[in-house]
Amino acid sequence: MGDYKYFLDNGIYEFQNGRFQSAIDFINQSLDLKKDWAIPYFYRAAAYHSLGEYDEAMLDYSKAIKLDDKMTDAYYNRAKIILSRKDIQNPDIQKAIVDLEKALELDPEFQDALYAMAAAYKKLEDYHKCLVYLEKLLQIEPQHIYARAFKKLILQKYII
């Protein structure tokens, strides 16, 4: 019988080198030996996410969060899937916002989460709340080119 950490380490290595299916195979072997820790679920979710297997990724991000409710990136990645999926007609933007709020509670300066929160509120057509998150992001990183462009778009196109 192998060591669960050995299989996880190999899975992470494969993931980092873009071999996502191989990463999943190694991580599955790790999970066969030890199921009660968040890290392998997070990496398997990230591999599924990279392969466009969003339902599997969502399940594993949720398992990771259930085992470790401080996994900032798992909340962010789960929200990102909701916000970016094209195959779902009416994605649950509120669910994404809840995940992003949790990520920002854990790391108030998480720039990608602030940007995603602005995007979520744009999708909900709450342009003032969108600007609130863009302003928070620009306070942390004044030269954030995407945030500056997004703010300009909102101000010119949606706020009169």
What does the pLDDT look like over 21-59, one tens digit per residue?
A: 999 999 999 999 999 999 999 999 999 999 999 999 999
Residue at 74 is within a domain: no
Q: Are 7 and 65 found together in one domain?
A: yes
Q: Are 100 and 153 found together in one domain?
A: yes
Tokens describing residue 148: 């500056």
Q: Are 61 and 118 found together in one domain?
A: no
CATH no. for residue 110?
A: 1.25.40.10
CA distance 97 to 119: 10
Of 61, 56, 60, 105, residue with least CA distance to 79: 61
Residue 160 has pLDDT above 80, yes or no: no
pTM: 0.92
Residue at 101 is within a domain: yes
> Across the chain, which distance is largest between two alpha carbons, in Å?
66
Domain that holds residue 2: 1-69
Residue 1 has pLDDT above 60, yes or no: no
Spell out the residues 6+ positions from residue 40 whose beta carbon is closer than 8 angstroms to its own: 4, 8, 11, 27, 30, 31, 34
Output the average pLDDT for the chain: 95
Q: Are 113 and 59 found together in one domain?
A: no
Residue 155 has pLDDT above 90, yes or no: yes
| Domain endpoint, select from 34, 69, 104 | 69
Residue at 83 is within a domain: no
| Confidence at residue 2, expressed as pLDDT on a 0 to 100 scale | 64
> Based on the structure, what is the number of domains in the chain?
2
Residue at 86 is within a domain: no
